[in-house]
Structure 1
Amino acid sequence: MKHLTRITLDPNVMGGKPCIRGLRVTVGTVIGLLASGYTAEEILKMYPYMEFEDLSEALSYAAWRSEEIEVPLARA
């Protein structure tokens, strides 16, 4: 997977959720809007400080996270 430069994780911003460039817009918000049928153009009008590349990286990040496997830890 390519290095994502537009997705940030900061415990002081939105509770540490993955955000777009440190802005208070989470990847989850962007993906939710796309899943609800909003177009990239509509989202960029709602959030004029975002760029198309932000949406693309949000999709890449969400796809990468959906492929992760969580393995339960063995109990001692």
Structure 2
Amino acid sequence: MPTLTDIGTLIVCTTGTCGGRPRIAGTRITVQYIINEIRAGVTPEEILKNKPHLTLGGIYAAIAYYYANKELLDVEFAAYDQECDRLEADYLAGRRS
């Protein structure tokens, strides 16, 4: 007989893994990655096809987690993107020198 999964166990945050950002439990796939894919027009089923180690439950949990925490996560995502842009600019500036 199948067992029920507590949805609260599907998304975790672990210090030292993926920068402590929320991710699908048992993976290094962050909520931010899932949301970026969804925003790019990729469906949950297509994400699953490209990353078969995930589950639809985990993907949809990431989407639900995002919308339940949208305001805070939008700020965190923007800060992460800014840091990536800064690091890329620093790297490119160093290459040109």
With normalisation by structure 1, the TM-score equals 0.78
Q: What number of residue pairs does the alignment pair up?
A: 67
Q: Which of the pair is proportionally richer in helix? A: 2
Corresponding letter in the other structure for 1:43: I
Write the distance in 2 (CA, Å) between the matches of 1:67 and 1:3: 21
* In the alignment, structure 1 residue 5 sits paired with structure 2 residue 9: yes
Report the CA distance between 1:12 and its aligned residue.
1.8
Larger Rg over CA atoms: 2
Report the CA distance between 1:22 and its aligned residue.
3.5
2:7 touches 2:61 (CA, 8 Å); kept in 1? no
Aligned residue number for residue 70 of structure 2: 66
Aligned residue number for residue 23 of structure 2: 19
With normalisation by structure 2, the TM-score equals 0.62
Report the CA distance between 1:3 and its aligned residue.
5.4
Aligned residue number for residue 54 of structure 1: 58
Question: What do residues 25-76 of structure 1 show as CA deviations (whole Å, max 9, x unaligned)?
Answer: 10000011011100112100111100000111111100111256xxxxxxxx
Runs of 4+ displaced beyond 4 Å? none
Write the distance in 2 (CA, Å) between the matches of 1:12 and 1:22: 14
**CA RMSD of superposed structures (Å):** 1.8
% same residue: 33
Q: Greater relative contact order: 1 or 2 (C-alpha under 8 angstroms, separation 6 or more)? A: 1
1:10 touches 1:22 (CA, 8 Å); kept in 2? no
Gaps of 5+ in 1: 69-76
Corresponding letter in the other structure for 2:10: R
